[in-house]
């Protein structure tokens, strides 16, 4: 899940480090929303639903035991590595649009990564529970660090570095899943005329992870600058 936190203090460092990344993040969100809204209304021409696309990709790669299940919500599509299941939102699961085909192929791409032992995915999966738990407290520690104790500030920054590392690991995982998805779509699943739109859809989604990573890095640089100012 992309990091999209923007901090709690607004001073010159916010405008220098965070604002540019924030603007890129907003652009990324607009781009992916626009691509999804556009291509969710365009039939892929394959005659396959998202569920069928995912199933075809899994089966042709020998992953017959990985189920494809519907999940509630919109854009809640994901691959669950613990249960080894591809879960698709109802519009993707039942839809036959270019968006449905692209998203389903991307999530199946994560299953292929898992089967191949793709190291960045394994690393991300191992980091996820720790980062999810610790990130709930990071800003509390940072605020207390500015108000009470430099030690808490240093601890908060150390935890935030873990968040940034998690984003850096997530980025190649998502980009690789999209590349795997396109390779599968090009191999007889998608009609030729739908390949370029599918690539645009996947590129827009990947851009959100690039933006999230830049935002996390910018926020870390800002925190380091504020911590250094406090020491001085």
**DSSP code string of 11-61:** SHHIIIIIHHHHHHHHHHHHHHHHHHHHHTTSB-SS---HHHHHHHHHHHT
Name the pLDDT band for 3 (thresholds 50, 70, 90).
very low
Query: Quick one: three-class SS letters along 163-218?
Result: HHHHHHHHHHHHHHHHHHHHHHHHHHHCCHHHHHHHHHHHHHHHHHHHHHHHHHHH
Residue 107 among the catalytic residues: yes
Which of 107, 154, 186, 193 is catalytic? The answer is: 107
Q: pTM of the entire structure?
A: 0.86
Place of tokens 């908060």: 156
What is the average pLDDT value for the chain, to the nearest integer? 89
Say what the pLDDT of residue 146 is.
83
Name the pLDDT band for 229 (thresholds 50, 70, 90).
confident
Phi/psi for 220 (5° steps) reads -65, -45
Say what the pLDDT of residue 6 is.
41
What tens digit of pLDDT does each residue of 169-184 get?
999 999 999 999 999 9
Say what the pLDDT of residue 4 is.
42
State the average pLDDT over residues 137-154: 87
pLDDT for 75 beyond 70: yes
User: Does residue 167 contact residue 25 with C-beta atoms inside 8 Å?
Assistant: no
Residue 97 is given by DSSP the state B
Name the pLDDT band for 190 (thresholds 50, 70, 90).
very high
**Alpha carbon of 32 to those of 25, 26, 200, 202: distances in Å?**
11, 10, 9, 9
SS3 219: helix
State the average pLDDT over residues 145-165: 90
Percentage of the chain modeled with pLDDT above 70: 91
Name the pLDDT band for 232 (thresholds 50, 70, 90).
low
């Amino acid at each position: 899940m992309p990091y999209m936190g923007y901090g709690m203090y607004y001073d010159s460092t916010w405008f220098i480090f965070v604002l540019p990344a924030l603007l890129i993040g907003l652009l990324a969100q607009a781009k992916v929303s626009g691509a999804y809204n556009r291509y969710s209304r365009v039939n892929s021409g394959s005659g396959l639903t998202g569920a069928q696309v995912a199933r075809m990709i899994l089966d042709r790669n020998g992953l017959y035991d990985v189920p494809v299940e519907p999940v509630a919500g919109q854009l809640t599509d994901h691959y669950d590595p613990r249960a080894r299941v591809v879960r698709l939102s109802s519009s993707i699961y039942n839809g036959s649009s270019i968006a449905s085909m692209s998203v389903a192929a991307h999530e199946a791409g994560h299953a292929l990564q898992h089967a191949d032992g793709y190291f960045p995915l394994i690393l991300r999966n191992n980091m996820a529970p720790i980062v999810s738990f610790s990130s709930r407290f990071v800003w509390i520690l940072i605020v207390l660090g500015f108000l009470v104790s430099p030690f808490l500030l240093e601890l908060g920054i150390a935890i935030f570095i873990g968040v940034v590392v998690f984003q850096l690991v997530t980025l190649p995982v998502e980009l690789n899943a999209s590349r795997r998805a396109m390779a599968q779509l090009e191999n007889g699943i998608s009609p030729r005329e739908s390949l370029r739109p599918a690539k645009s859809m996947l590129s827009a989604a990947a851009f959100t992870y690039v933006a999230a990573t830049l935002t996390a890095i910018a926020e870390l640089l800002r925190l380091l600058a504020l911590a250094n100012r406090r020491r001085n």
